[in-house]
Structure 1
């Protein structure tokens, strides 16, 4: 394959991107366009296509408002995550304190085992969900809240007994 054919093949591939090329390759392609009719037609059609596209004026700082439905959906998901945690804690409180007649150490043991058995797996799932779909601030807030619940809630409840 001679050098003209090589330049011809490369020019056909690069003509649509000619404005993005560096100066030296751009000049080589423009010189080839002067000699080759096929590449000249391709370049003209690419220029016509670029000119037919509407131009956007990005000089002004346009602020894009988030879609209202998307914000509502995001808020609803956050509320759902908080509600699931609250329902699990309510179940643990209710099931533990329904046997209130027992001694306090047994009650607290049942309460802490309920946290480990029910809350920890749910918290792990909800944290993975939060990490995947929400920002880091919401993830870290959820993680700190879950750690406080797992490690300190039984001590706080024991203070009120």
Structure 2
């Protein structure tokens, strides 16, 4: 009798494994649309606001993936559910700030956005810690933070 129970337990665990494997394979077929446009990330922003090469390089490494119309997708973004998580991060990021849309904003909204960027950097809220786990190169040094804060302060009327 005990042998039959062991065999049933093994069969049940094989069935659970097979169902989980099938679900994992099936979810690979459901893919979010990628965040890619024809123009390079931040191009309009860089041109409109005369962004220097150093500031642009920092923004490209630390901001544009989630805050522009062009995301640089790493290998793990091809595997579900990581692609869904990335898609949510990018959508949330673009909703709060999209560098590609900043040139179309009026002066008050621009000033507010630039002030928010400064606050986020000063409070170490950006880039997100979860983003830095897989993108070590996006970490802002003290010099990077100072350069960005000085740059965005130069664009605000809060000085």
Q: Flag the structure with larger Rg.
A: 1
TM (norm. structure 1) is: 0.32
Bigger relative contact order (CA 8 A; separation at least 6): 2
TM-score, structure 2 length as denominator? 0.33
Higher helix residue share: 1
